């Protein structure tokens, strides 16, 4: 990450009267600046809440309150230490960070598609490191104790603007089919969070490798999982199945715009149809997409495939309970829980 991105965001936050021009800024610096601005917005909201709580508990200076945070949750934002002797105006700083984030995204939309692709890849790489650090901060923390530090789950949803994921299309959807969980009018809620996807990919890359692997998303929504996976590793072969046609159209358009269509494809498909058979693949991703009947139908096929080859299944939501039963019944390896146990990875390799 270049120092110029820190200088740029620091100037925006603390010298709001200064004009800045993003037209000639290098695309990698724009990517770093986007991540820092979105992160700063969340950080100020977190600091405002934590400072208020701290003041209620004990008499402590703002500097003493801030110092340990820069060694942990705010380690990527040490430039915010600029005014550690006085309590800043959290709301104004958060608003400035949010406005700058919008300006960066608007500028990137004006750039060539090749630069947009570079921007996304760089941003995702930076975001992955932040998510891994957040994951480390939560290690050993009980869910009942709550989240420790800044919660980044929705911090970078603005990246959808560059992918051109138009969730407004869901507002007009009228589907009479009731046998599947289509999350009608769910918008961004139909997507796995960027943290979920990148943490899963980091784990898969470390333990199984991704290059040359085939990955299938069963219920792909607007295609976030596939788009991020293809940018993360262009040597992955990815196919996403989704019932709602307009979501598939948006997904494929994004793949084409980013020149990812050679390894990335989304298909409109009713997965409950008796003549549908899952393709042979190394990795399957399920974000609670089915009714009970379809779960039985699809998971039976996955189990049959697992008897011929090693299969990895990544689940989120209620799909986890289904896979836990399958894992136990078929003597698979113990599942791995990440993302504060919201994400579960199952491996068909027999338990030792």
Query: 167 in a domain, yes or no?
Result: no
Query: 285 in a domain, yes or no?
Result: yes
Query: 101 in a domain, yes or no?
Result: yes
Range of the domain at 41: 3-162
Number of domains in the chain: 2
Query: 66 in a domain, yes or no?
Result: yes
Query: 70 in a domain, yes or no?
Result: yes
Paired strand residues for 345: 314, 336
Neighbours of 188 (CB within 10 A): 15
Same domain, yes or no, for 266 and 153?
A: no
Same domain, yes or no, for 8 and 74?
A: yes
In tens digits, what is the pLDDT along the chain, a chain of 352 residues? 445 888 899 889 988 777 788 999 999 999 999 999 999 999 999 999 999 888 877 778 888 888 888 888 888 887 777 666 678 889 999 999 999 999 999 999 999 999 999 999 999 999 999 999 999 888 877 666 778 889 999 999 999 999 999 888 887 776 655 555 555 555 566 688 999 999 999 999 999 999 999 999 999 999 999 999 999 999 999 999 999 899 999 999 999 999 999 999 999 999 999 999 999 999 999 988 788 889 999 999 999 999 999 999 999 878 899 999 999 999 999 999 988 888 999 999 977 5
Neighbours of 61 (CB within 10 A): 12
**Which residue has tokens 């990517």?**
31
CATH number of the domain enclosing 251: 3.40.50.150
Q: Which one of 129, 162, 195 terminates a domain?
A: 162
Compute the distance between CA of residue 211 and CA of residue 206 in angstroms, rounded to an integer.
11
Cβ neighbourhood burial of 143 (10 Å; 0-12, 13-18, 19+): exposed
Same domain, yes or no, for 23 and 123?
A: yes
| pTM of this structure | 0.92
Same domain, yes or no, for 153 and 182?
A: no
Paired strand residues for 344: 315, 337
């Amino acid at each position: 990450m270049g120092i110029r991105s820190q200088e740029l965001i620091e100037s925006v936050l603390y010298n709001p009267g200064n004009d800045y021009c993003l037209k000639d800024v290098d695309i990698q610096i724009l990517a770093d600046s986007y991540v820092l601005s979105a992160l700063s917005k969340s950080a100020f909201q977190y600091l405002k809440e934590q400072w208020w709580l701290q003041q209620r508990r004990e008499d402590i200076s703002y500097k003493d309150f801030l110092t340990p945070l820069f060694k942990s949750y705010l380690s990527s934002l040490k430039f915010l230490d600029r005014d550690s002797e006085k309590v800043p105006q959290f709301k104004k700083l958060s608003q400035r960070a949010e406005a700058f984030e919008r300006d960066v995204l608007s500028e990137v939309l004006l750039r060539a598609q090749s630069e947009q692709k570079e921007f996304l890849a760089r941003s995702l790489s930076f975001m992955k490191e932040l998510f891994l650090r957040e994951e480390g901060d939560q290690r050993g923390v009980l869910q009942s104790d709550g989240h420790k530090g800044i919660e980044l789950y929705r911090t970078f949803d603005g990246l959808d603007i560059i992918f051109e994921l138009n969730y407004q299309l869901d507002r007009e959807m009228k589907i009479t089919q009731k046998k599947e969980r289509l999350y009608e009018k769910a918008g961004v809620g139909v997507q796995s969070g960027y943290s979920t996807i990148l943490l899963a990919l980091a784990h898969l890359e470390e333990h199984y490798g991704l290059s040359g692997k085939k990955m299938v998303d069963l219920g792909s929504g607007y295609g976030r999982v596939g788009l991020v996976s293809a940018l993360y590793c262009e040597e992955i072969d990815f196919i996403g199945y989704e019932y709602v046609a307009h979501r598939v159209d948006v997904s494929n358009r994004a793949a084409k715009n980013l020149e990812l269509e050679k390894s990335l494809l989304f298909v409109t498909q009713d997965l409950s149809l008796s003549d549908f058979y899952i393709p042979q693949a190394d990795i399957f991703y399920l974000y609670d997409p089915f009714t009970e009947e379809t779960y039985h139908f699809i998971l039976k096929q996955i189990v049959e495939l697992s008897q011929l080859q090693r299969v990895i299944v990544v689940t989120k939501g209620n799909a986890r309970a289904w896979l836990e039963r399958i894992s136990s019944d078929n003597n698979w390896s113990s599942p791995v829980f990440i993302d504060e146990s919201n994400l579960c990875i199952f491996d068909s390799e027999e338990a030792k």
